[in-house]
Amino acid sequence: MLRTILLFAWILAACAAMFLIAQPVGTTGQLIISLSVIVMLTVISVLRLDGTWRHIFLAVASVIVLRYAFWRTTNTLPPADDLYSFIPALLLYGAEMYCILMLAISLFVVSDPIDREPAPQFPDEELPTIDVFVPSYNEGKEILALTLAAAKAMVYPKDKLRIYLLDDGGTLEKRNSPDPDVARTASIRHEELRTLCRQLGVRYHARAENRHAKAGNLNAGLEVSEGDLVVVFDADHAPEKNFLKETVGYFLEDPKLFLVQTPHFFANADPLERNLGTFGAMPSENEMFYHRIQKGLDRWNASFFCGSAAVLRRDALRQVGGFSGITITEDCETALELHSRGWTSIYVDKPLISGLQPDTLASFIGQRSRWCRGMIQIMLLRNPLLQPGLTFPQRLSYLSSNLFWMFPLVRLAFFAAPLLFILFDMKIYVASLDEFFAYTVTYLIVAEMVRTYLYGNVRWPWISELYEYIQTVFLVRAIISVFLSPRSPKFNVTEKGHAIEEDTLSELAWPYFAIFTLFCVSLAVAIYRYQTEPEISGLLLVVGAWNFLNVVIAGAALGVVIERKSEQDSHDLLAVGQCDLVVGEESVPVSVASISPTRARLIPARSAKLPDMRRGGKAILWRPEASPDGIISTLPVSYTGGREDDGSISVRFEPDTEHYAIIADLMMSDLSPARDARADRRKRRSIILSTWTLLAWALRYPPAAAWMAITGRRRGRNDPQPVGAVAPTPRGSAAKPEPGAA
C-alpha cells in the first residue's frame, strides 16, 4: 500500500513539474529564473552540502535543463519546408537531446552511490577454492613474470589457490600455422612461457585454437580448472598481496553474488597525460568511472565486470555457459547476462592492482575503438531495454553505459554545426541573442555546475571535451561500421609497455592537423562576415564563439599527437619497504621510495655511508622475509654509487626468473602509497584556471606540432608498430572509459 502511495505521489510531482516547466514566462522571466537557480546551486556547491541537499541540487538544476529542452523543441527549429536548413538543424537538435537524455540517466545512476563496508573475514577452512586466470596474447616475459609472481604471493591458503597463465600466443593453431614466422614465434613463446611457469610454480595452459578471443581463452581456462571462484587479472595487472582478503569474503555472505569488481589502477600515464604533462597532478581519466559511476551502478545492482581485477563465481558462469563471446566486450556482456538471471554484483572502490595504460596514441585509439564497438554491439545485439529479467534501474544503468559510446556522433554534430552556418549559411538554430543568453547560456552554465558538483574532484573542466575530441576523430567510422555489420568487429589486443625513445609525431596526427586548419579557416570567415554582414552580427558573434571553442580544443589536441619521450620501464609506483643494499662485505639499510619492474629508487639511512662500487663486489638487495619459503631473499642490482639531490640512489634490477618473487613483494605488498597518491590527485580545479590552461595548450602546441611535421620527426608507416595500433581508420580493437564519462 505504501509503495502504491509513493508511486502515485511521484507521478503527481512529475506531472506538476512538467506543467510548470512548459509555462511561458518570456525571455526576461526565464533569465530571472535561471539566474536564481544558478545562485542557489552556487551556494550549495560552495558550502559543499550533501545528503538531502544533493537531491535538491539535482532537482533544481533539472528544472533549467528541462525548460531549455522544451524551449529548444518548440521555438528554435527552422521551418520543415526549408529542407536545406531543417535537416542539419534536426541532426543538431538530436545531438542536444541525446546530451540531455544522457544527463538524465546519469543523474539517476549516480544519485545515491554506495560505499561498501570491508569484506568480512572467515577462517581458512571455510574459504572457497580459487583459480586465478592471467590471459595473455603477446605480452613480454617480464610483464607476465611480475603478474604471476604477485598473484602467487597473494595472502590465501596455498592449498586452495591455483594460478593459471592462459597463453593465446602459443596455441596449437599458431604453432602449426602455415606461416613459418608465426609458427616459429608461437613455438618459441610456448616453450619460454612453459619454462617460466614451471620456475614460478604456476600452471601453463595454451588451448588448441584461437576462437572467440579473450572470452574463448577464459572459457578454456574454465575447462581445465575447478575452483569455486575465478579471479581474472590482465597480463599487466599485478595484484596487491591482500587482493583476495579484500574481496572473497563477500561471496560467503551472499550465495547469489557472482561478481566483486575492483578499480583498475595504472602506474603510467596515458598519451594525453604524458604528452600534456598532467600525470601526477590531474585526476586520471578513469577516476570518474571507477570512483563515481561504478559506485552509482552498485546502488542498482548494476556494477559490471571490467575484464580484470575481479572475482567471479564459477557456478554463475557455468549457468550461462561461461564468459559470453557474442560481442568483443565479453566482460560487460557476461555481467549483463548474469544480472538478467538474478545474480548480484558488488563494487569495491579500493585499488588492489597496478596495471599499464597504452603508451602511444595509436594503441590508445585502438583500445577505445574496441570498447566503443563492443558496447554498441551490446546495445544492438543484447539491448538491455529488451533483456528479460533485468530490473528497470538495471536497464537504465546498462543503457547509460552503452549509449555513452555514441558520443563521437554527438561531438561530430557539435563540431560541424558552426561550420554549416559560417560556411554555408544554414539556419540551424533559430533564436534571438536575448533568447540565446536566457536559455542556452544559462543551460550550459547549469549543466557544467552539475558536472562539477558530481565529478569535480575526479574530472577537471574541459578535460572530457578534449578526451572525446581525440577519440571522435577516429571512432565515428568505427560506430558506423558496427551499425552496418554488428557481428563483424574483431578483438584486437592493446599494446602496452611500449618505449618511445625520442619526441616524435604520432602516425595518426594528420587528421588532427586537417580539422584544426578547417576550424581556423572557418573562424577567419566568421570574422569577415561579422564585419561585412551587420544584419546577422549578433548570431555570427555567438556562432563564432562556438567555433573559437572548437579551435581551442583542436589546438590543444595537437599537443597530444606529439608523442613525448618515455622509457619502457618508466612505470614507477610509490612504495613502502625496507631492505639492505649489499656490496661485497658492506651493507646499508635502505627504504624503497619508488619501484618499477626494472628499477628502484632507494633512500639510505640518513647517517649511512654508501658502499664504494670501485672496491668491486656484486650489489644486491637483501630482504630475508620476501619469500614465504625463505629461499629467495636477494635481488641482483646494478648500482652506480651516487646520490641524487634528494639523497636517494637508483638501482637497476638484474633478475633471473626466481627473483621476480622479491620484485613482486617490493612492488605489490602494500599499495597504500599509490592509493594515497591517487587520492591526492582528486583536487577540484576552477573553470577559470582550467580555461586558462586549455588556452595555453591551444597557443603552444599547434606551432610545435607543425614544426615536427615539417622537420619529419614522426613515426613512419614502415616503422615498427605496436600490436593493436591502428592506421588512420582504426579496426577496433575498453573500465572502460568509462561509460558516462562525458
Cite the active site residues.
168, 331
- DSSP class of residue 611? P
Residue by residue, DSSP assigns 74-136 as: HHSPPPTT-HHHHHHHHHHHHHHHHHHHHHHHHHHHTSS---PPPPP---GGGSPPEEEEEEE
Cell of 693: 590552461
Tell me which residue of 525, 557, 531 sits closest to 544, measured CA to CA: 525
Residue with cell string 573542466: 461
| Cα–Cα distance measured from residue 309 to residue 354, given in angstroms and rounded to the nearest whole number | 9
CA dihedral sign of residues 620, 625, 627, 631: positive
Amino acid (1-letter code) at residue 723: V
CA dihedral sign of residues 195, 198, 199, 202: positive
| Cα–Cα distance measured from residue 365 to residue 272, given in angstroms and rounded to the nearest whole number | 11
- Residues 385, 588 contacting (CB under 8 angstroms): no
Residue with cell string 581519466: 285
- Residues 95, 410 contacting (CB under 8 angstroms): yes
Residues 6+ apart with CB under 8 A from 683: 283, 457
| Cα–Cα distance measured from residue 519 to residue 416, given in angstroms and rounded to the nearest whole number | 9
| Cα–Cα distance measured from residue 542 to residue 354, given in angstroms and rounded to the nearest whole number | 46
CA dihedral sign of residues 692, 269, 724, 216: negative
| Cα–Cα distance measured from residue 616 to residue 563, given in angstroms and rounded to the nearest whole number | 40
| Cα–Cα distance measured from residue 730 to residue 476, given in angstroms and rounded to the nearest whole number | 10
Helix (H, G, I), strand (E, B) or coil at 52: helix
- Residues 576, 673 contacting (CB under 8 angstroms): yes
Amino acid (1-letter code) at residue 224: V
- Residues 139, 426 contacting (CB under 8 angstroms): no
Instruction: Note the maximum CA span of the chain.
Output: 91
Amino acid (1-letter code) at residue 505: L
